[in-house]
Chain A
């Protein structure tokens, strides 16, 4: 029930997103009618196309139309590809999700142990590594990290495959189960494709991981230090509890609370970073789809993309809240 209420609370912001994206796309420079009529089109032809697209009607009329279609789950049709936006988004979602989740697993897998060890041994080499990474990570823009990694590992060292999407040209995509190539190729028992997909995935997910590593490692170290210095840890030690119990159960669980909050924030940053990283690595995900549509003044995909991101963001925050509630008894979902 509280979950449902949280979702209802998010409804106004989703409405806001719908209005804003509609207006924003209409305010974009460029006229889709001119774009689609082609360079040789006459004034007459352009006007006809505009009429056919409905762009000659008033903004409110267009908006009502847009919302009416939305309520039927119709996100419109892309003018460049001629395909329904919804099915295109659905087809591209796994690519983005696989990239983002791999990056998240990678960065959590590195940042948490790093932050914990740094907090357990302040001033040790691990602590210094942690400090360097957290400082470097925030000062490198993602597209730069991406290009740097491509330059180093593909161009110079030649160990990484060409940054050209999810699979090299010699491989065929695995049969579709989840849409995640890593998972699907494993289900199909096709380890060659698995290796190829993993190879393609490594650099872009590393790019995103480096970007999200810094805030996660920093908050893990800080909150772990705070937890270790707190009075209940002193009580646990005074009760003779073993080091592992003190660190893993008493300190870590408390230290994880701020980490979870930061994780939610980092994840939503990653949704944004996706757009650039996908472009650098020619990743056929949602981000590159949106960028292409934006360049072509193709309204429907852009609107669909922003709406999908907004919904994802709402779901994400809800999930973070739920996890937080499970971990922290002081927080109630219905409060």
Chain B
């Protein structure tokens, strides 16, 4: 496959530039994201991987504008030609759920427990489409059929507690795709589901996304899953985007020591979930006042004094890769 693909000269669907997110909390300022930049083209599937607490969800929520009010955000998020961070709540409300949709992990708690699922999908359709309540309800049932929920007409009246976790996630997918978004963010869509359901759900998402020519940002812990579905992978660590590369290149020649360790720690396909713990050390506390310039430096075997004192160097290479390291492999 030629890289970059021929349409890459077109304006990207999503451009995140120098995204910085801080939470001012009682126990100090959490520097959750720092200098995160990436693009996503129309119809592209890209993955955001990293261990727990690396800032994957915060990135997604910042793009959608659904972070809580304690968050201070700066940078730029350009989606479909519009800057979102400076867009008002009203304008964002029109984009969310229609052009830009998200699926969360834990589908059971992500759905309103006391509202029939059909109504919840219809709410989204009624919000964004020019449809009557009755039409929205009928379209909602159609969406349930599209995510292959058996007997959708009857199921539309069901409540989340009456459905299995996998079924609830199908409902979430139906809700997210109801208004034909251009970009779907899937935040660990299969976490909390059993293995066979995981594969079915992931397959369904990929199929629907591909058939509608949508772009997808897949957020996951699971490097193998990312490799299976995405043509590019961005690796995050402690609020930094440490490496971004086409999947094949990332696996063949990882350049950031963290990426290399992630790949080495993953014993091939279908690996256990705990393998990320094989990397020495833990993510630094993001509330620390003395965070080093490279937040991986305290876990890194290639560290030199200037890694800590910085500044962090971000190298872009001709093959469409980016690595944030002074001493890349």
Contact = CB atoms under 8 A, between A and B. Distances in A.
Contacts of A238: 64, 66, 96-97, 101-102, 104
B169 interface: no
Interface in B127-148: 127-128
Interface string A233-253: 011111111110100011001
B159 A330 contact: yes
B104 A234 contact: yes
B124 A241 contact: yes
B115 A250 contact: yes
B123 A231 contact: no
A328 interface: yes
Nearest to B69: A122
Interface stretch (B2-10, B106-114, B221-229, B245-253): B106-114
B127 A232 contact: no
B112 A254 contact: yes
Interface string B84-117: 0000010011111110011010100111111100
Given A239-B96, A240-B124, A234 B112 contact: no
Contacts of B66: 234, 237-238
Contact of A232 (B95, B102, B110, B161): B110
Contacts of B113: 232, 254, 330
B100 to A, nearest CB: 9
A254 B64 CA distance: 24
15 contacts: A231-B106, A232-B109, A232-B112, A234-B104, A237-B96, A238-B101, A239-B127, A240-B94, A240-B95, A241-B123, A241-B127, A249-B115, A250-B112, A253-B115, A328-B114
Given A238-B64, A253-B114, A327-B114, A231 B97 contact: no
Interface in A213-242: 230-232, 234-242
A254 B112 CA distance: 8
Q: What range describes how many residues of B lie at the interface?
A: 20 to 34
A238 B172 CA distance: 12
Interface in B258-297: none
Contacts of B102: 238
B93 to A, nearest CB: 5
B182 interface: no
B116 to A, nearest CB: 8
Size category, A interface: 20 to 34
B166 to A, nearest CB: 17
B109 A245 contact: no
A243 B92 CA distance: 12
Contact of A240 (B98, B104, B172): B98
Given A232-B109, A235-B104, A329-B159, A242 B114 contact: no
Given A240-B93, A240-B128, A234 B123 contact: no
B104 A330 contact: no
Given A235-B110, A239-B97, A254-B112, 19 more contacts: A231-B106, A235-B104, A235-B111, A235-B172, A237-B66, A238-B66, A238-B101, A238-B104, A239-B127, A240-B92, A241-B124, A249-B115, A253-B114, A253-B115, A254-B114, A328-B114, A329-B161, A330-B113, A330-B161
A66 to B, nearest CB: 46
B104 A231 contact: yes
